[in-house]
Amino acid sequence: MRLSAIATFLTLAAFIVFSTAASADAQTLTEISDSFERLVQKVNPSVVQIFSTGYGFTGGSTTSSLLGKQRATGSGVIVHPDGYIVTNAHVVEGATKVQVLLSTSEERRGRSILKPKGKRIGAQVIGIDRETDLAVLRIPVKNLPYLKLADSDNLRQGQIVLAFGAPLGLENSVSMGVVSAVTRQLKPEDPMIYIQTDATINPGNSGGPLVDTDGNVVGINTMILSHAGGSEGIGFAAPSNIVRNVVDQFRLTGRVRRGGIGVFAQTITPTMAASLSLPRDWGVVIGDVYPGSPAEKAGLEVGDIIVSLDNKVMENGRQFNVNLYRRTVGEKVPVEIQRGTQTRTIRVSVVERGDDPARFASMVRPDKNLIPQLGVLCLNLDRRIQAMLPPMRKEGGVVVAARAADAPHSDDGLMPGDVIHELNGKTVKNLQGLKSELGKLGAAEPVTFQVERNGRLRFIAFQLD
């Protein structure tokens, strides 16, 4: 065979191989594209747009600017066929009217690609949990398409995820990215953690689902970090395991209770390990066991090393608090400890955190409980509220349930959980009485409150704005 013929043959063979490979690659890309298309079609019918109207803080310090009419839009996801929807608390907080726009699920093959608008339905706010920025709504519709909540503990950095919602009001939008981090903590010592993603999230995506490639919800899109106000590839979602806990508690009891076992867990440092002769220089050690707590009753002691919680190895104090954070009150959790050379597992009951400052926040409404001069929302101290507090030093009063982020005197003023007993030496019996006394005072007048905070009485004094 001549060399030219051989060269022609080899060139033709190479072309055939290249064409076959290119064809295979194109087929693979088409299959990937088709898979994502099917995934989106599966998820979309369960994603909703939310419209809320109500009252909210406007950022001022005067009576007229603290409370004003506000409208907000966001996203949500149906998580139960009986009409239960999860969204962000900040989407519906202070709302007097909430509507849900359902996505149309009508099959439209061979027709216009423009889908008709879905149906708007009035929604009831079942509960708001400000600590996780989650809210649960319900609409009077049965047999709805819904998405399952995945186990977010199985999520891994680098996994592909899709964010659904209505960014900037553009309903039925989807973006794709990866999991940038699985346990991002935004505040020191805060047990609330977030999934970080680079999937594009913008205002309006709040409350929408972050889903995995199986179409299950791994998180609820909550916030972004941005210098310009738009997406810069740093978005955060509340993990689905925390979402599940909030949803289940609201559905079953109507409120969220935070649990604890009554210990102060600290991260072991090399210095601590060396000076205390601990058997390891990493992990978690019990710094305190609170008197009368489930931990004390179960036999936990100061100095015990926490090896694992519910069979998960504990590497630092933050991890221990995060894992305990989503435990339901009434559960018993297995705590494996090392004491000296002995290792044992102790089952400890989870009880409601008595010092949770946000435990009353879901019980108030701005139009009923707001005290605008102070930028706080208060509740009457009735039997139900008193049962949620430690033994009182004085009888009667008003409980501070929540405060505006920009409330005056944020450093030395009234805090959630405070019980107001007196105003300028006069006994405060109820919310109406407190409002009445404040109404007699003008701007810049001095006020002194006697409050009970964590079992201690104190005076708080400042000038009204």
pLDDT of residue 297: 94
pLDDT of residue 114: 56
Q: Is 412 a known active-site residue? A: no
pLDDT of residue 158: 94
DSSP readout, 390-433?
PPPSSS--EEEEEE-TT-SSTTTS--TT-EEEEETTEE--SHHH
Query: How much is the pTM?
Result: 0.68
Which CATH number is correct for 361-463, 1.10.10.60, 2.30.42.10, 3.40.50.300, 3.40.630.30? 2.30.42.10
**Pair 173, 167: CB distance under 8 Å:** yes
Nearest 5°: the CA angle 245, 248, 253 is 115
DSSP secondary-structure letter at 149? B
Q: Is 61 a known active-site residue? A: no
What residue spans define the domains of the chain? 1-105+116-257, 259-352, 361-463
**Pair 220, 242: CB distance under 8 Å:** no
pLDDT of residue 8: 59
CA distance linking residue 190 with residue 184, whole number of Å: 10
List, for residues 63-105, the tens digit of each pLDDT value: 334 455 677 899 999 999 999 999 999 898 778 889 999 987 5
Catalytic position from the list 103, 206, 231, 362: 206
List, for residues 275-328, the tens digit of each pLDDT value: 888 888 888 999 999 888 999 999 999 999 999 998 889 888 877 887 887 788
**Residue showing tokens 């106000």:** 229
Catalytic position from the list 46, 52, 90, 180: 90
CA distance linking residue 29 with residue 23, whole number of Å: 10
Query: Does this chain's domain 1-105+116-257 share its CATH topology with 259-352?
Result: no
Catalytic position from the list 133, 212, 356, 418: 133
Low-confidence residues of the chain, pLDDT below 50? Answer: 1, 57, 59-66, 107-109
DSSP secondary-structure letter at 45? G
CB neighbour list of residue 190: distance below 8 Å, 6 or more residues apart: none
* CATH fold of the domain at 1-105+116-257: Thrombin, subunit H (2.40.10)
- Coil, strand, or helix at residue 247? helix
SS3 of 182-222: the string is EEECCCCCCCCCEEEECCCCCCCCCCCEEECCCCCEEEEEE
User: Residue 210 phi/psi, 5° resolution?
Assistant: -105, 120
Top CATH class, 259-352: mainly beta
Structure tokens at 369: 């409980």
Pairing type for strands 332-339 and 217-224 reads unpaired
pLDDT of residue 408: 63
Q: Is 227 a known active-site residue? A: no
